[in-house]
Copies of this chain bind each other. A is one copy, B any other.
Amino acid sequence: MRQAGRYMEDYRKLRAQFSFLDLCKRPDLATEITVTPVERLGVDAAILFADILLVLEPMGVGLEYAKSDGPKIHRPVRTGVDVDRLVDFNPQEELSYVFDAVRKICAALNGKVPLIGFAGAPFTLASYLIEGGGSRDYRHTKQLIYSDRGAWHALMERLARLLASYLNGQIAAGAQVVQLFDSWVGCMAPEDYRDYVFPYTRLTIASITPGIPVIHFSTGTAGLLKLLREAGGNVIGIDWRVNLDQAWQKIGYDVGIQGNLDPVALYAPSPEIRRRVENILRRAAGRPGHIFNLGHGVLPETPVEHVIEMVRAVHELSMR
Contacts and interface: CB of A to CB of B under 8 A. Distances in A.
Interface of A: 137-139, 142-143, 146-147, 186-192, 220-224, 240-243, 246-247, 260, 262-265, 267-269, 272, 279, 299
10 closest Cβ contacts across the A-B interface? A223-B242, A222-B223, A222-B222, A146-B268, A189-B240, A142-B264, A223-B241, A190-B243, A139-B264, A143-B267
A262 B137 CA distance: 10
Given A220-B220, A223-B243, A142 B189 contact: no
Contacts of A190: 241-243
Nearest to A145: B268
A146 B240 contact: no
B264 A138 contact: yes
Contact of A267 (B146, B223, B264, B267): B146
Nearest to A295: B189
Contacts of A223: 222, 241-243, 246-247
Contacts of A268: 142-143, 146-147
Contacts of A269: 146-147
A191 B245 CA distance: 12
A263 B187 CA distance: 11
Contacts of A138: 264
28 contacts: A137-B264, A137-B299, A138-B264, A139-B264, A139-B299, A142-B264, A142-B267, A143-B264, A146-B267, A146-B268, A146-B269, A146-B272, A147-B268, A147-B269, A186-B220, A187-B241, A189-B240, A189-B241, A189-B260, A189-B262, A190-B242, A190-B243, A220-B220, A221-B222, A222-B222, A222-B242, A223-B243, A223-B246
B267 A241 contact: no
Contacts of A220: 186, 220, 241
Given A191-B279, A220-B220, A222-B223, A142 B243 contact: no
Considering residues A222, A246, A260, which has the most beta carbons from chain B within 10 angstroms of its beta carbon? A222
Nearest to A186: B241
